[in-house]
Structures are given as structure tokens and as C-alpha cells.
Amino acid sequence: MFKLMQVLEGVRYVHSKNIVHRDLKPENILLDDQLNVKITDFGFAKVLNDGEKLFELCGTPGYLAPETLKANMFEDAPGYGKEVDIWACGVIMFTLLVGCPPFWHRKQMVMLRNIMEGRYSFTSPEWADISEDPKDLIRRLLVVDPSERIDVHESLMHPFFNTVLWDQDMTPLKKSLSGTSRRMSRIEQLSMVIDGCAFRVYGHWVKKGEGQNRAALFENMPKTELKSLYVSNLSR
């Protein structure tokens, strides 16, 4: 999880410049020749003025924070800020640990409902041998209320990052397993990133006018229609 720490450090730097990325996901996290993390694709990024809130619907569905969805469903929504990147880091961490995303559902509106309610679980067999520290950090990252969500500075100070050991050549040893530490080769690290990427199951929002070849999800759906679909799904 040293790579996740690097992602959070990158997010901390971006946020220090009053920039919100808005599309953090494994696809946009690359490794250089020295396996250092590089955050890429700032096509949706936005420089925020003091106190400014955003309302535009953009990003990748499975990584969207609840407040982003609310901003496009409810006329009185307060908007969103840099906290959406913290939520996305929680989704990334969940996905990298067990190889599947927390909110995905084959029915898109059910996935949307899961995100809005922060509905996920650690009940799958893949979580059986993972210790409490990473689960606790995920719980703090995936908080529906952005004002209660852990910030990037607190994330980096979480005890989870003290459970990662390093040998002399900086090859990580994963100490998330109960009772034992397991050496992870560089190939295994890359495999976790590649095989666990949620982009294999998620669609993408269309960013028109930029020439990006992205599949549409809820494309051209009015705010009122999206809201009604969500409310209708709640009654099922």
C-alpha cells in the first residue's frame, strides 16, 4: 500500500494548489520506471476559489462521491469540493485490496443508490484475512457526509500506513494479513493494479468537445429524470 500513500501525497500536493482532480481512479494512476506514482489526466480538474463549490457532473461513475451526485439531483444541493478526491481514494483502496470495487452493481441505478447511501461491506471472502487498520481507513474515507470525511493529512497519519514494512531495496511487505507478513513482488503489485481496476466494469462520463472517446452513462439525462429514477429505485 506504499503506492496508495504516494497517491495520497500527490492528492495533498494537488489540493495545496486549490485544485480538485475529480477523476481519480486506477486508470489515471501510472507508475514510472522507478515505480513511482504519477497522477495523470487532469481533464476534469478545477481550480477552486476560497469557499467555491462545484455542481458539474463529471468523473467516472463508480468513483463519484455522493455529494457530486446530489449536486446534479437536487436543486438545493450545496455542491462539492476537494473532498470528492478523498472519497475516490477510498474506492481505489478498497478495489486494490480485494480486486473488486465497493459500489458496483450491474444495474446502474442500484450502483448510484449504493454510492448515495455509502452502502458497501467487508463480508466477501477476500476480506477474511485483512486486518482492521485498512478497513478502518476505508470507513473514514468512504463517509457520505463530506464534512465528516477524513482529510488527506489525517489519511496519511492513519495507523494503517505504519503496518507496511520495507526491506533494503524498498520492496514492500504487506502486513495487512492477520498474524503474518507477505512479500509482494513488483509483478504482484502491478497485477493488483491491473487486475483490480474498476474501469473493466465501469462506464465513463462523456466530456464533450474534448475529443475523448468515452462511453456515455446517463448521457443527456435531465436532472429531474435522474432524480426520479433514483427515488423510484429507493422504493424497490
Q: Which residues are catalytic?
A: 23
What dihedral angle (degrees, nearest 10) is formed by the CA atoms of 143, 146, 148, 154?
Answer: 90
**Whole-number Å distance between alpha carbons of 135 and 123:** 11
Q: Are 21 and 85 in contact (CB under 8 A)?
A: yes
Q: Return the closest-CA partner of residue 183 out of 197, 160, 162, 164.
A: 164
**Residue whose entry in the numeric block shows the C-alpha cell 486486518:** 131
The grid coordinates listed for 157 are: 497519519
Dihedrals φ, ψ of 52, to 5°? Answer: -75, 140
Q: Please tell me the distance from the alpha carbon of residue 89 to that of residue 224, in angstroms, as a whole number.
A: 29
Query: In Å, what is the CA distance from 72 to each residue of 76, 87, 225?
Result: 10, 17, 11
User: How many CB atoms are closer than 10 A to CB 233?
Assistant: 15
